[in-house]
Amino acid sequence: MKKFLWMIFVALMFFWRIHADDLWNITLNYCDTTNSTVQYQIIPGVETSICYTLSNSTSGAPVKVKIWFIDGTFTNDQRQNKACLSDADVENFWRYVTSYDQFVSLQPGETIQKEAKLLYPIGRDGLYHGCIVYSIVQEETGVQIADTSFSILMRRAKFIDVIVGDPKLAEEKETLWSNLLLITQKIENILPENLKNKLNITDILFGSDNQKTAIGDREEIFLISNNINYGGIITIFLFAGIIIFFIRSIRRKKGKRAAIHHPEAHKHPVHHHPKKK
């Protein structure tokens, strides 16, 4: 058994080294900056272009590169580094990116300029994070040892920050979500969601949308409208699933009231916001 595992380890390391060397010879850069992050401020309903270049610094055979976009986030630690979510988490960025070449062929020494289109609908505002991800498409994508096959996906990414609509509202929303503490515990088939208000806000009117069931239908399982006082916690019980919440309105201390935003502008999947320590 140990010999078999050692064979797997050696084969995977060899396979990884080949693919890693190829991928490091491919670079993606934004047209407007040399930084690893680019920021766009866009108007809802107005299409924006994401311009980038792909370069192949190898001197061998042509390379085929795959491009895709996914949502971004921040790591749940003290550093709060930018990170890319899984390909399944596509709620706030990926779904609004269109019109781009998913596959690009690069000759040795060639640089190609490409672009993608980004369009958020009217009524949407906030600060959103995304990633542009790329990898090399190989004819052989796995390693075969005995009757077992293994595959490795090597990918690189750069970050995209998008301010949609009013920058002040975007900053307010980002601060609001970072100060709502979410605690999830599984009890049989029910999830209690505990939300705590840590902001300097008198109360928050909090509502829920509907969820997408496993069979693809949309079913409204509950509708709530609760005030969360400063420092207060509310608990909502629901059947296990992905629930989309939105902020209906915010009322600050001293009687000041923030603007009421369209619910569509504040849809946010719960699992995108892990609790802060």
- Predicted confidence (pLDDT) per residue in 57-90, tens digit: 887 888 899 999 998 887 766 677 888 887 666 6
Give the residue range(s) of CATH 2.60.40.10 domains in the chain.
2-165
- Is residue 181 within 8 A of residue 196, CB to CB? The reply is yes
Domain range 169-272, its CATH number among 3.30.70, 2.40.160, 1.10.3470, 2.60.40: 2.60.40
CA 250 – CA 175 distance, rounded (Å): 12
pLDDT band at 214 (very low <50, low <70, confident <90, very high): very low
**106: pLDDT strictly greater than 90:** yes
Quickly list H helices, the chain: 2-24, 167-178
The 10s digit of each residue's pLDDT in 119-162 is 998 878 788 899 999 988 864 444 444 444 444 457 889 999 99
36 compared with 266, residue with greater pLDDT:
36
pLDDT value of residue 199: 46
CA 32 – CA 51 distance, rounded (Å): 8
Give the 3-state secondary structure of residue 179.
coil
CA 129 – CA 161 distance, rounded (Å): 5
Give the 3-state secondary structure of residue 157.
strand
Enter the pTM of the model.
0.54
pLDDT value of residue 109: 92
Domain range 2-165, its CATH number among 2.40.30.10, 3.90.1170.40, 3.40.50.2300, 2.60.40.10: 2.60.40.10
